[in-house]
Amino acid sequence: MPNQVLENLKTLLQVPDLASKKWIYEQYDSQVMNDTIQTGGDAAIVRVHGTQKALAISTDCTPRYVEADAFEGAKQAVAETYRNISAVGGKPLAITNCLNFGNPQKPEIMGQIVRAIKGITEASKILDYPVVSGNVSLYNETDGKAIKPTPAIGGVGLLKNFNKRCDINFKNEGDVIFIVGKTLGHINESLFEHEILKEESKKNPPKVDLLEERKHGEFIRELIEASEINACHDVSDGGLLVALFEMCGKNLGCEIDLSELKAQEEISDIDENHLFFGEDQSRYIVALDPHLIKEFKKKSEAKSITVFRVATVIKEKIKISDAEIDVKELQFVNQTVLSKKFS
């Protein structure tokens, strides 16, 4: 099973949804006025010129979720921008949107639009994350077939001091890796379902508990402000294992052990692939110094936040039991997808 899990990871990393976008964004000058602090990762960070403040910026939407359930899918799009901004240490402030849909004169399309707006509204209210602008792009159809409904959400947040920020990269061999949030192996509408199982259920996308989303975001921002974690990444497309891969650097990987996670009674008999690739929401991965584990767990318990140890930072490989693969091999296939298709 571990070997098959790693083969599934390699397959998913070659899907356009997960392919590295460096080939695109590195063609553009991101250093105008020298205020860009971070590209890639969970959110871009741009300094407010001449100050210690910075803006964290993220744009998100998962059209397959919206197609399955426009209300839940639009909620998730808002929540993911909130999560991405929190993961770098920013306080989410506001969102804009671009509602991309087919012909609104068709009842089913108008239904998608109405439900998506309701989802955005609910998420914005509960997350205290207001919509300050927006626009629409309608009639997006070819030969009468509409695009997937895509209410794209752009979020912006504030770092009061850009030196108090976090990125996704593992820093130190021996750091301990925890997942924050409940992992129950939600596989419907996941990339694993679409690309590995070759199924499209078009129903039951992962639901977002917005109160949990807000609580987890606040917890992560507190950890970053206190400099208690060395790396942070949200879990989104592709699930836990994809997120762990994305945190690996050129010389650092991770050894994964889900025994603590699998000890939960409600998932004790679940397929391991579902734990690795399920797309449960409101989750983060954090890496921290082993000496801080006790304090980290104490803080999470005080806030009633679920955390599980899932891995340890090691050199150069991703390892599961007796199976392993070089990080550089995975990075090569992931980073060459778009250049092979378009260059």
∠ CA 138-144-147, rounded to 5°: 50
Please name each of the domains of the chain with its CATH number.
Answer: 2-15+167-342 (3.90.650.10), 42-159 (3.30.1330.10)
Residue 266: what pLDDT? 80
Q: What parts of the chain have a pLDDT lower than 50? A: none
Residue 180: what pLDDT? 98
If you ran DSSP here, which 8-state letter would residue 87 be given?
Answer: H
Neighbours of 96 (CB within 10 A): 16
pLDDT digit string, tens, across residues 185-243: 999 999 999 999 998 778 899 999 999 999 999 999 999 999 999 999 999 999 999 99
Q: How far apart are CA 189 and CA 86, in angstroms?
A: 25
- According to DSSP, the residues that pair with 92 across neighbouring strands are 157
Q: How far is CA 130 from CA 10, 59, 94, in A?
A: 38, 15, 5
The torsion angles phi and psi of 312, rounded to 5 degrees, stand at -135, 140
The torsion angles phi and psi of 309, rounded to 5 degrees, stand at -75, 130
User: Which tokens belong to 218?
Assistant: 């606040």
If you ran DSSP here, which 8-state letter would residue 60 be given?
Answer: E
Residue 102: what pLDDT? 97
Q: Could you tell me how many residues make up the chain?
A: 343
Amino acid identity at 233: H
Residue 200: what pLDDT? 79
Neighbours of 144 (CB within 10 A): 8
Q: Which residue has the tokens 């999560």?
A: 83
User: Which tokens belong to 141?
Assistant: 């159809």
∠ CA 149-151-152, rounded to 5°: 125
Residue 175's nearest CA partner among 55, 338, 286, 10 is 286
Residue 267: what pLDDT? 80
Residue 202: what pLDDT? 81
Q: How far apart are CA 87 and CA 166, in angstroms?
A: 7
If you ran DSSP here, which 8-state letter would residue 206 be given?
Answer: P
- Cα dihedral angle (281, 206, 248, 276), rounded to 10 degrees? 120
Neighbours of 17 (CB within 10 A): 14
The torsion angles phi and psi of 164, rounded to 5 degrees, stand at -95, 75
Residue 264: what pLDDT? 84
What's the whole-model pTM score? 0.95
pLDDT digit string, tens, across residues 163-173: 999 999 999 99
